[in-house]
Each structure stands twice: as C-alpha cells, then as structure tokens.
Amino acid sequence: MEGAIPELDHRFELPGTAQVVEGNGGLSKVRITCPEAVGEMYLHGAHVTSWKPVGGEEVLFLSSQSRWAQGHAIRGGVPVCFPWFGGKADDPTAPAHGFVRTRAWQLESIAQVGGAVTVSMFTESDEGTKRWWPAEFRLVHRATFGSELSLELVVTNTGGTSLRFEEALHAYHRVGNIEKTRVRGLDTVHYFDKTDSNRKKMQHGEIVIVSETDRVYLDTRDAIELEDPVLRRRTRVTKEDSRTTVVWNPWVQKAHSLSDFADDEWMQMICIESSNVSDFAVDLAPGQQYKMKALVRVANF
Ligand code: TA6
C-alpha cells in the first residue's frame, strides 16, 4: 500500500532535489529537480510520466485525457507491462499488458548520483496477483533521471518453480508531427504486423508512419533512432537484454476509440517499446534474476 505522502516524503525526500507529493487524481508521485534534469514518477504503476533534460524540452508524451486512478493505466509516459504483453493468451478477462501498471507500487529508494537522481520502486506477488498469475516474484523499476533517462526492470523469481514472463517498457515519445517523424535502426528486421493478422514481415529501410502502426520487431538488440524535424531533435534508444522492440502509433480511428486519448493526439506521439515479448519471453529459474534496460538520449539539431 502507498504510505501517507508526508510519511513517504519524510522518509525519502532529498531536500531541493526529490520530493514525494500529491500528483494527478491524488496519486503519489516523486518529483525530481536535479542539475541534469527534471522528471516525475508515480507510485501508481511505477510510472515515469515526465523527463526533461536540462536545456531540453519534455521528451515523453502524456495524454491530456489520461485517467489517474487505481485500476486504470496512465495514458502516456512509460507504462510497465508485466508479466504478459497485450492480451493474456489464456484469459480474455485479464487486464491488457499485465497487472503491474494499474497497481500501487512501493518506494524503495531515492538517491542522487552526480547530477542525476535514481528512483527505485518495487512490487511483489500477493494474493491479488495470484488471481491472474500463480508465480512468486519481485519486480523493481529503477529510473535514473539525468542528461539521459535510464529505465531498468529487474525481475526476481522468489518462488520454488520456474516462471515465464513477458515485459515491456511501453515508452510514449512526444513528437512534433508523426507524419514527418522517421524511425531508424530496424532495417531488415522481421516483425509481426498486428494490423495485418499478425503476419510476419521484414522491415525495409526506415519506418514512416502513414496509418495505424503496431509492430513487434523480433530478435533485435539494435538501438533505435527517432528523427523529429519539427521539434528538431533526435532521440536514441539503446537496449540491454531486450530482444524485441514494439513500435506503435494508433493513427486516427484507433485514437478516436480510446477514451483516455484526445482525438488529435495521435499526431504527437509514437511508442518505442524495449521489451521481451512473444517468442522472446523470458524463462527464469527459482531464485534467478533478469534485468532489462533502456537508455534514452536526446540531441537537438
Ligand atoms: O504496444 C502496442 C499495443 O499493444 C497496441 O496494440 C495498443 O493496444 C497499445 O499497446 C496500447 O495498449 P493499452 O492497453 O495501453 O491501450
């Protein structure tokens, strides 16, 4: 359970640098103001909702229509998808993208490292999670807000049997105009096209978004570059121990169908998701740990 904000702030505050405050919908968030960046991370879903490197603009997209309530995912920022991605294969009633992005996590630590701040939050299996998934686990989301944004998911199998999980850092990047944005780094990589009955295809050259785009790129450890000529910036996402990358833009019709997404916001975002999903789900023996990391850097031009 989330502690009372004053109690959490008293325990974890770094005066003038990191505070635990009330955010949207009364949800608790960590607000960071450090020499290299400003940022925010909600205890709800351990959800990073803002990162702005000093001298730069907001990097993450956040919908103006997002919900801010237990049981609902925040629309934008970096939702944490675990222990499955998309719908649960054997249970259509299960929440999309798993159950951790819609629950209250606990604050583990806040630490200043040079000019950056690292916030660690965790969530663990309990009777509620076992309704959906029998495994025993501890999941830590460690986010470092600095001149780069580092996001690390650490899964520990705390049970006595092996488990298999999918995971994704479902990052919404803010862009000036999706139609002028280009995504590079996936040339010749195979992908499942979720807008075309999950057919397996191969990427030719850079990605240009001209309609709803929902692709799971397979067996790729490659870095991704997002070029935005409108905001005049290049975003580079490098990954560690992630074998799949998901690229998503809802385009017009899907955007209209999402109640927590304004009709025209599809033009200002693209999801680049460092992940281990589908054929590249992770098997973890009892007592073992698996870390996946995404590093986001931005350069203006
Ligand atoms: O990551 C792409 C995707 O799986 C899309 O299919 C779309 O459903 C998107 O995630 C958003 O999912 P959500 O459950 O957050 O609405």
Q: pLDDT for 69-122, tens place per residue?
A: 999 999 999 999 999 999 999 999 999 999 999 999 999 999 999 999 999 999
Q: Which backbone phi and psi does 60 adopt, to 5 degrees? A: -95, 145
Q: What is the pLDDT of residue 72?
A: 97
Beta strands in 229-288, from DSSP E residues, in sequence order: 233-240, 244-249, 269-276, 282-284
- CA 239 / ligand 1 centre spacing (Å): 20
Q: Which atom of ligand 1 is nearest to the CA of 96?
A: 14
pLDDT given at position 6: 86
Please indicate whether residue 73, judged by its CB atom, sits closer than 6 Å to ligand 1. yes
Q: Which of 212, 213, 260, 271 to mutate to test the pocket of ligand 1 (most atoms within 8 A of CB)?
A: 271
Q: Alpha-carbon distance 54 to 101, whole Å?
A: 28
- In single-letter form, the type of residue at position 101 comes to R
Nearest CA to ligand 1 atom 8: 86
Number of H helices, E strands in the chain: 3, 22
Question: Are 135 and 125 in contact, with CB atoms under 8 Å apart?
Answer: yes
Q: How confident is the model at residue 4 (pLDDT cuts 50, 70, 90)?
A: low
> pLDDT category, 210, cuts 50, 70, 90?
very high
- For the chain, give the percent of residues with pLDDT over 70: 99
Please, what is the average pLDDT of the chain? 97
Interval between CA 129 and ligand 1 midpoint (Å): 21
* pLDDT for res 1: 44
Give me the pLDDT at residue 191, please: 98
Domain ranges of the chain: 4-300
Cβ(78) – ligand 1 distance below 6 Å: no
Residue 37 has pLDDT above 90, yes or no: yes
Asked whether the predicted pLDDT for residue 3 surpasses 60, the reply is no
Domain 4-300: CATH class, spelled out:
mainly beta
CA pair distance 219, 244, nearest whole angstrom: 6
Q: Is 47 in the pocket of ligand 1 (CB under 6 A)?
A: no
Residue 162: how many other CB atoms lie within 10 Å: 12
Contacts of 49 (CB under 8 A, 6+ apart): 23, 29, 40, 41, 42, 60, 62, 74, 76, 77, 78
Q: Which atom of ligand 1 is nearest to the CA of 97?
A: 14
Q: Where are the alpha helices (DSSP H) in the chain?
A: 5-12, 127-130, 251-257
Among 38, 85, 79, which residue's Cα sits nearest to residue 62?
Answer: 79
Please identify every residue annotated as catalytic. 170, 273
How far does CA 299 lie from the centroid of its chain?
21
Distance 246 CA to ligand 1 centre (A): 10
Q: How far apart are CA 8 and CA 170, in angstroms?
A: 27
Q: Is 80 near ligand 1, meaning CB less than 6 Å away?
A: no
Average pLDDT of span 225-241: 98
Chain segment 286-297, per-residue pLDDT in tens: 999 999 999 999
pTM: predicted TM-score of the whole model, two decimal places: 0.97
